[in-house]
Amino acid sequence: MCWGVLAKVVKVEGLYAEVDFGGTRVRALVATEGVEPGDVVIVHAGAIISKVTRDELAENLWVYFELMKVHYEMNGVEPQRARELARRDIAELGKWLGLSDEDVERALASSGT
């Protein structure tokens, strides 16, 4: 099973890029074309395997919302409060990824959250 993780590209130097995983920075092999600073990418096994567009990010935020909500609920947080905390976390994630508040709200509204 593969596990790709979102990261933001900080800088590119030849075949390698410095990527930021929400505060933790590492060096990753650039294994896809056109990677530039500021891009959001998927990193797997130390390699950047694809770029992620703003539209793709917005379309998939509901997955992260659901994961965060379930995380809170499994740790004893009441469902309504878990929903509020997950929305707050998604807003922060969206900002870090370069999405506007409107993009985040539109993504969550379209998924019924």
Verify that 42 and 77 share a domain, yes or no. Answer: no
CA distances to 14, 90, 104 from 73, in Å: 44, 16, 22
Looking at the structure of the chain, the number of domains it has is 2
Tens-place pLDDT, residues 50-78 = 999 988 888 788 888 999 999 999 999 99
Verify that 99 and 63 share a domain, yes or no. Answer: yes
Global pTM value:
0.76
Contact 60, 30 (CB under 8 A): no
Contact 5, 42 (CB under 8 A): yes
Would you state the pLDDT for residue 112?
63
- DSSP string for residues in 54-67: HHHHHHHHHHHHHH
Which stretches of the chain score pLDDT less than 50? none
Verify that 60 and 97 share a domain, yes or no. Answer: yes
d(CA 69, CA 84): 8
d(CA 29, CA 43): 9
Q: Containing domain of residue 16, as a range?
A: 5-52
Verify that 16 and 48 share a domain, yes or no. Answer: yes
CATH code at position 35: 2.30.30.140
Verify that 102 and 82 share a domain, yes or no. Answer: yes
Verify that 62 and 106 share a domain, yes or no. Answer: yes
